[in-house]
Amino acid sequence: MARESFQRRLSPDGAREGRAIHAPIEGEVAGDRGGRILLLGTLLPYSQFLPWLETNGLDLPLLFSELFATRIGGFFGLDIFVSALVLFVFIPVEGRRMASGNLWLPVVATLACGVTVGFPLFLYFMRQRKLDAESRTNG
């Protein structure tokens, strides 16, 4: 069954009547999609890191030397570090606001796998918290 992401009602002259209606993502579909995103967020970066680690070992000075050897490498390195820092500030602030638990898990995931895993995991927890609150309100 095809699912439309939103639906708009238009008057005969084309002017919008009402607002966009967002269809909810069903739990199994969203969970499956989220799982694939987390898997890709882990596998893709590690596909580059693990061969380097096998060749060089955990040589942190060499890692940073090679990461910042070019301006484009430095750009990507700084982008990831700043993104992780922003995420580390965002997780407790937004997590407390939403009264969410398990806030340590996205932090550990970010440190172990990167922002590509920590951020989607945090969003998943926030979404689940919101869905739980809505089901208690409506149910």
Does residue 41 fall inside a structural domain? Answer: yes
- 66 in a domain, yes or no? yes
pTM across the whole model:
0.69
Distance CA 61, CA 87 (A): 25
**At residue 24, does pLDDT exceed 80?**
no
Give the pLDDT mean for 77-91: 95
* Residue 55 reports pLDDT greater than 50: yes
In a domain, 134, yes or no: yes
pLDDT value at 67 more than 50 = yes
Residue 61 lies in a domain: yes
Phi and psi angles of residue 64, each rounded to the nearest 5 degrees, phi first: -70, -35
Domains held by the chain: number: 1
**Residue 110 resides in a domain:** yes
Residue 114 lies in a domain: yes
| pLDDT score, position 61 | 97
Cβ neighbour number for residue 123 with a 10 Å cutoff: 14
Per-residue tokens: 22: 């967002």
Q: Which residue has the higher pLDDT, 29 or 80?
A: 80
Report the mean per-residue pLDDT for the chain: 80
Question: Looking at the DSSP assignment, which residues form a beta bridge with residue 10?
Answer: 16
Residue 17 counted as domain residue: no
Query: Which of 129, 120, 118 is CA-nearest to residue 95?
Result: 129
- Quick check: 21 pLDDT over 60? no
Instruction: Decide if 15 is inside a domain.
Output: no
State residue 31's pLDDT score.
60
Region of poorest pLDDT, from 64-68, 113-117, 120-124, 133-137 = 133-137
Q: Is 96 exposed, middle or buried (0-12, 13-18, 19+ CB in 10 A)?
A: exposed
Q: Tens of pLDDT along 124-135? A: 888 888 888 788
Tally the residues of the chain.
139
Q: How far apart are CA 122 and CA 137, in angstroms?
A: 23
Query: By residue range, what is the domain housing residue 129?
Result: 25-138
